[in-house]
Structure 1
Amino acid sequence: MLKFRARLTLILMLMIGVSMLIAGIFMAKLLEDSHIKELEANLVRELRVIEMTGDWNKAGDLAFLVPYYTSQTKRLKEFTDARVTYIREDGKVLGDSDENPEELDNHAGRSEIQEANREGVGYAIRYSDTLKRNMLYAAIPVKTAGGEKTGYLRLAISLEQVENTIRHLWLFLLIGLGILFLIAGVTSYRIARGLTRPIENITNVAKQITNRNYKARVETKSLDEVGQLGQAINRMADSLHMQMNRILENEGRLKGVLENMGSGILMVDRDQRIVLVNRSAEDILGFSSNELYGKKYDEAKQQFELTRLIQECIETNEPIREEIIFYYPSERILEINLSPISQADGEWSGVLVVLHDITAMRRLERMRSEFVANVSHELKTPIAAVKGFSETLLAGALDDKETARSFLQIIFDESERLNRLVGDILELSKIESKRIPLQLSPTHLQSIIQKSLDMMKAEADKKKIALSMNVDEALFLEADEDRLRQILINLMANGINYTPEGGRVSVSAELAGSGTDGEDERIRISIKDTGIGIPKKDLPRIFERFYRVDKARSRSSGGTGLGLSIVKHLVEMHHGTIRVESEVGYGTEFIIELPVIHP
């Protein structure tokens, strides 16, 4: 902008300077021509006077005529203050006021003489070799009374005065031009500054807007074209600021949605490069966005099946939906939806890939299917027994009272088992659907464990199993007393059922965390038996519904296969954990950890 201002100032100065110079030259030339014209007119008048007052037609030889006309010319010079010359008609100089006529050349070829011969008056300006300066010559012909030309009178004056006048004029003109240049320079600079400063301000604001500083504004002090341009820039900045805020807001929303979506999003552009990867896609594919972003889909680290589907979508330009099992970074089932992206004109511009992790859903469907199959199987066994023995009784077994009593006992036991099974299924359903809220209250742990042991004493006595407890009297925790008792009874019953006669079931409780160093205070409850134990291969699955280590032994013990699953759900509802340690032939220990205070 400073260069532009300097150029504009220089242009204005040159325009003013050239204009003044041309005007000065024109004035000087006009003055010079006017002065010379005036001198020429004066010389002609003087020549007419000289012609009328003198005798220029003397007869005689050169010896007489030259001195005579020389004296005449010298006398006239005193009055005219100019060089006077008389020239005969053939060009011979007969008299001259300044030079010896005998030494002068023939003047017939002089321009003023020739012009006087043609026009009646002749003028010439030339450098005089004799006088060494520019001279103005004026000549008229001399005629006899009959009109015959006999010679020429010529006056010559020096142009030194005219040249001095013109020289002074040029000096004055140059001084004036210099002063004018100085004034013009200051004026031009101020004019240029007045023109360029608003433009410079507008340019700076435009640069700031280009650098995304949309708060920059032009200060407008006038309503001329530059001021209107500044106002237009301000309106444009307001519009850009509003649009960018809207774009950033929408971008933030879109980014928030993409980053917090449970589904993975992958986008491939028209150059077949990956241009979008959200956080869920990173987790699902097992690669960070830095490893995928900007690379071609067939060169980036990813699953071969996904690369194949993208290639197929690009080639067919049709949506694709498929379920694929991925084994990296872990085994999971993915639902992959690929959709070609087109612009408004229908031109293909990329592929959008949406990844859904449906592993949990498929596992839930499998568990539901297995649960229905297990429930059907478990319900079918007691129902078949009840039906079979009832048919036998109806067929005539009622007549044999001992057989009838035995069959009725079996029917009663199976109906009881069926009742327990239905009850456990309903209980588990309520617990899993969280339709039974916990009624939390301070609970004295020793009392509730003692009551649970008392309830199981009769069952233990049948098998001569010893029950014992080791619980500090000062232990309290926040829990649902009924649900906690249900947990303890289920685990104790499990220990009694799978412990041979003469065995032992013990319950202990202790603090697992003191609450220091940011650790939550927890209580650890252990139910340990000396039973048959559980093989290591079955330990990970014992909390599954209807899972039995020894199916024949479980049914004979009257278990439904849902007790441990109910226990696990109730423990988790108390924000606790349960684990099992067991060794075949030596017994099993269930370890529960519960928080003293719920969050």
Structure 2
Amino acid sequence: MKPFRNRLTLIIMTLIGLSMLGAGLAMANVFKQSHIQLLEENMVREINLIQATLEFPSHNGSEAVTYYTQKSKELQQLVEARVTFISNNGTVLGDSESEPQSMDNHALREEMVQAQKEGTGRTIRYSSTLGQDMIYVARPVSEGGFDGYIRLSKSLVEANQGVRQGWMVMGAGLLVLFVLAALISYRIAAGLTSPLEKITRVARQITRLDYDARVDIQRKDEIGQLAHAINGMADSLQLQLKTIRDNESLLQSVLNNMTGGILMIRHDGLVMLINRAAEGMLGIRAEQLTGKNYREMKQHYELTMLIQEGLEHRTHFREERNLYFPVESTVRLDGVSMTQEDGSYRGMLFHLQDVTDIRRLERMRSEFVANVSHELKTPLAAVKGFAETLLGGVSDEKTSRSFLQIIYDESERLNRLIRDILELSKIESKRSAMEYSPIHLSTFFESMFEFMKPYADKKRIQLKMEVPEELFIEGDEDKLRQIFTNLLSNAVSYSQEGGRVQLTAEEMQEGDNLRFTVKDSGIGIPKKDLPRIFERFYRVDKARSRVSGGTGLGLSIVKHLVELHQGSIKVESEPGMGSSFIIEMPLLQEG
């Protein structure tokens, strides 16, 4: 902005200089003209004075020339001008500078012609006699014996010298005025450009995204209005930017917290957007894929083929694909075509939803229904078969009682199955309320062992408990009883006669958790069955389970109840070496 100020100052000073130069030339010309006019008027007065004071005798010929030559020289000393007497016919009768006989006829001289016409003749011309510019003034005189003209002439050297002095004085004055004008113009230019510099500086700050910058100018003229407009524009931009940033933040927050993945791909195949959920599903970072072609996802061949099909057809579709990276999963892909306001095609928006758990639950539901149907069908078939036999007539009372006992046992088994199904359904649907209270573990397990002792004695199985007297836990007593009843019953059922079942409770090193272990000396569990031991209706030995009256839901119920207590359960077993069910559970429950 300073170069602009300098240019503005230079322009103003040039205009002022030109104006002052023009004014100086005009003033010099006026001064010169007025000086010449004043000189001419003085010369007219001097001629009139000569006419009034000089005697004009009636001389002719050489006497007249001698007389007027002498008088012209005398008058030259008085008026300080060249004096010339000229007759009507233009003959020079006397001259203070030259000999009349050597001078030309003056009848046609400009000042003579003008004096004849107007009474006074004035002219300025170069005198070849004297070699300089002269001013000539002539007037007709008719006195006594003289009838002609008196002409005075003066050199313009003095006049020019006066003009030069005037020029010097005026030049000095103009120089002072020019300096003052330069200072004033610089101040004016600074007054004009300084606020413009501030406005320009603020405008540049705004272009650099500094929307807090403001113009501090308190003026009511056009510059003040411009500053006010700039500040208003900055306020508007700042407000709009805040709105945009808030919307972007809100949109980013929505995208980042969506459970579904979002993948936006431009019409030319470049990835425009990928949210956090999509990153997790695809096992790729947004910065690795954004701005690149979607085919960079080489580990998802089927998915890229589906995306390519969507980009080509530009229609809405919904498909499911299996992904094997970073983990095996099932993803449902919804594709929607994106268009701009003018209808032009922009690309595709893909919504990715992980439906692995949904499909797994659907399979589990189907398997559960199939298992329930199967489990219900077996006792019902037995009840129906033996009932039909009895209705058909059985003469042997012992056989009838045997059939009735089978019908009773199968109905009991059916009752347990229905009870366990309802219990598991209630637990899984979170409808089973938890009632926490402090439980003294030694007392709790002693009562359980008393309940289990008759069943263990039938098989001569030794029950052993190692629970420190000082241990307490916070939990739901009924559900804990259900957990350990199932585990102890299984341990007794799958242990051979004369075996041993041991329950231990100990505080873990962290001090916040307890570990419970139910160990038996039974037949053990094959390694291939260990991962599925807690599934519903899963039996390692199906024949033996049916004989023992198990429903296949006990361990599944145990697992859910342990998880309701914020705990975990695992099993360690080897065939023929027995099994150990290990439960880790917090001392205190949160919430």
Do they superpose with TM above 0.5?
A: yes
Q: CA deviation at 1:209?
A: 3.4
TM-score by length of 2: 0.89
More displaced, 344-353 or 371-380? 344-353
Q: CA deviation at 1:170?
A: 1.9
Q: CA deviation at 1:3?
A: 3.0
Name the structure 1 match of 2:455: 459
From the superposition, tell whether residues 261 and 92 of structure 1 become closer, same or farther in structure 2 (CA, over 3 Å). same
Pair 1:583 & 2:574 matched: yes
Q: CA deviation at 1:225?
A: 2.5
Counterpart-to-counterpart distance in 2, 1:120 and 1:527: 155
From the superposition, tell whether residues 144 and 498 of structure 1 become closer, same or farther in structure 2 (CA, over 3 Å). same
Q: Which whole-Å deviations, capped at 9, do the CAs of 1:51-110 have from their partners, x for residues lacking one?
A: 89677997658xx88766543432331233112346799999775423466887898997
Counterpart-to-counterpart distance in 1, 2:296 and 2:58: 123
Counterpart-to-counterpart distance in 2, 1:453 and 1:263: 50
Name the structure 2 match of 1:409: 405
Pair 1:391 & 2:383 matched: no
Q: Which whole-Å deviations, capped at 9, do the CAs of 1:112-158 have from their partners, x for residues lacking one?
A: 6787799886654345566565422345789999x9xx997643212
Q: CA deviation at 1:508?
A: 1.4
Name the structure 2 match of 1:198: 195
From the superposition, tell whether residues 356 and 160 of structure 1 become closer, same or farther in structure 2 (CA, over 3 Å). same
User: Aligned match of 1:259 in 256, 260, 281?
Assistant: 256
From the superposition, tell whether residues 54 and 346 of structure 1 become closer, same or farther in structure 2 (CA, over 3 Å). farther
Pair 1:82 & 2:75 matched: no
Q: CA deviation at 1:44?
A: 5.1
Q: CA deviation at 1:311?
A: 2.6
Runs (5+) with no aligned partner, structure 2: none
User: Aligned match of 2:244 in 243, 247, 252?
Assistant: 247
TM-score by length of 1: 0.88
Aligned AA for 2:545? S
Q: How high is the sequence identity, in percent, across the aligned residues? A: 55
Q: Which whole-Å deviations, capped at 9, do the CAs of 1:577-597 have from their partners, x for residues lacking one?
A: 111111112111111111112
Q: CA deviation at 1:549?
A: 1.4
Counterpart-to-counterpart distance in 1, 2:296 and 2:424: 50
From the superposition, tell whether residues 294 and 409 of structure 1 become closer, same or farther in structure 2 (CA, over 3 Å). same
Aligned AA for 1:80? V
Q: Give matches, 1:587-598, under 5 Å.
A: 587-598=578-589
Counterpart-to-counterpart distance in 2, 1:107 and 1:364: 140
- Contact 1:66-1:101 at 8 Å conserved across structures: yes
Q: CA deviation at 1:576?
A: 0.9
Aligned AA for 2:251? L
Name the structure 1 match of 2:561: 570
- Contact 2:111-2:123 at 8 Å conserved across structures: yes
Counterpart-to-counterpart distance in 1, 2:374 and 2:101: 164
Q: Give matches, 1:396-475, under 5 Å.
A: 396-397=393-394, 399-475=395-471
More displaced, 306-315 or 39-48? 39-48
Counterpart-to-counterpart distance in 2, 1:132 and 1:318: 109
From the superposition, tell whether residues 370 and 54 of structure 1 become closer, same or farther in structure 2 (CA, over 3 Å). farther
Counterpart-to-counterpart distance in 2, 1:121 and 1:281: 114
Q: Which whole-Å deviations, capped at 9, do the CAs of 1:532-554 have from their partners, x for residues lacking one?
A: 11111111111010111121121
Q: Give matches, 1:117-156, under 5 Å.
A: 123-126=122-125, 131=130, 133-138=132-137, 154-156=151-153
Q: Which whole-Å deviations, capped at 9, do the CAs of 1:445-469 have from their partners, x for residues lacking one?
A: 2222222222222222222222212
User: Aligned match of 1:231 in 218, 228, 232?
Assistant: 228
Secondary structure of the structure 2 residue equivalent to 1:580:
strand
Counterpart-to-counterpart distance in 2, 1:313 and 1:484: 54
Secondary structure of the structure 2 residue equivalent to 1:523:
strand
Secondary structure of the structure 1 residue equivalent to 2:588:
coil
Counterpart-to-counterpart distance in 2, 1:310 and 1:6: 64
Name the structure 2 match of 1:336: 333
User: Aligned match of 1:556 in 532, 543, 547?
Assistant: 547
From the superposition, tell whether residues 155 and 299 of structure 1 become closer, same or farther in structure 2 (CA, over 3 Å). farther
Pair 1:513 & 2:509 matched: yes
Counterpart-to-counterpart distance in 2, 1:95 and 1:348: 113
Runs (5+) with no aligned partner, structure 1: 516-520
Aligned AA for 1:564? L
Name the structure 2 match of 1:15: 15
Q: Give matches, 1:1-400, under 5 Å.
A: 1-43=1-43, 46=46, 60=61, 70-85=69-84, 95-99=94-98, 123-126=122-125, 131=130, 133-138=132-137, 154-299=151-296, 303-397=300-394, 399-400=395-396
Counterpart-to-counterpart distance in 1, 2:418 and 2:443: 30
Aligned AA for 2:26? F
From the superposition, tell whether residues 303 and 154 of structure 1 become closer, same or farther in structure 2 (CA, over 3 Å). farther
Q: CA deviation at 1:478?
A: 1.3
Name the structure 2 match of 1:530: 521
Secondary structure of the structure 1 residue equivalent to 2:295:
coil
From the superposition, tell whether residues 292 and 119 of structure 1 become closer, same or farther in structure 2 (CA, over 3 Å). same
Counterpart-to-counterpart distance in 2, 1:265 and 1:309: 15
- Contact 2:299-2:325 at 8 Å conserved across structures: no
Q: CA deviation at 1:33?
A: 1.5
Secondary structure of the structure 2 residue equivalent to 1:545:
coil
From the superposition, tell whether residues 36 and 57 of structure 1 become closer, same or farther in structure 2 (CA, over 3 Å). farther
Counterpart-to-counterpart distance in 1, 2:346 and 2:483: 60
Secondary structure of the structure 2 residue equivalent to 1:513:
coil
